[in-house]
Amino acid sequence: MNFEKLLAGIKLKHRALFFLIPGLFACGDSQLEYAPVAMLKEVDRKMAQEFVKGNWRYRGARAVDEGIAIYIQIPERLDISDEQHKDYLIKTICPKKDDIDFWRKVIGYQLYLRTYNYVDRNYTQARCPKPFNI
């Protein structure tokens, strides 16, 4: 009789694993995909026009784990704190909240501005806030 209970317990555990394991694999499927090239080109079209004049250089949009990163090369480090730098980027360079058509195109991704001097790995990053109504 103890053997039958043990066998029933093992079967119950195996059934639980049977339902648990596919769920674990499904978690891996829910990862965000990288932004497609067409979307990066759309971001390039939108953002490059902002840097035609001046000495800040638009260096392109790239798909990153977190979303879309917009790289901007600046001639020298700004003489302000990192928080002030991020705030400045958000207020002056991020697409405006009322540009609903653009925000709808990138709705599934976070949009980041990354400024750097010489090496693009050494950047200051600011996340552009999305409009709440899209």
Q: How far apart are CA 115 and CA 131, in angstroms?
A: 23
**What pLDDT is attached to residue 1?**
55
Burial 60-80 (b: 16+ CB within 10 A, else e): ebbbeeebbbbbbbbeeeeee
Residues of the chain with pLDDT under 50: 12, 14-31
- Return the amino acid letter for 8: A
Q: How far apart are CA 31 and CA 66, in angstroms?
A: 11
**Tens digits of per-residue pLDDT, 20-53?**
444 444 444 434 689 999 999 999 999 999 888 8
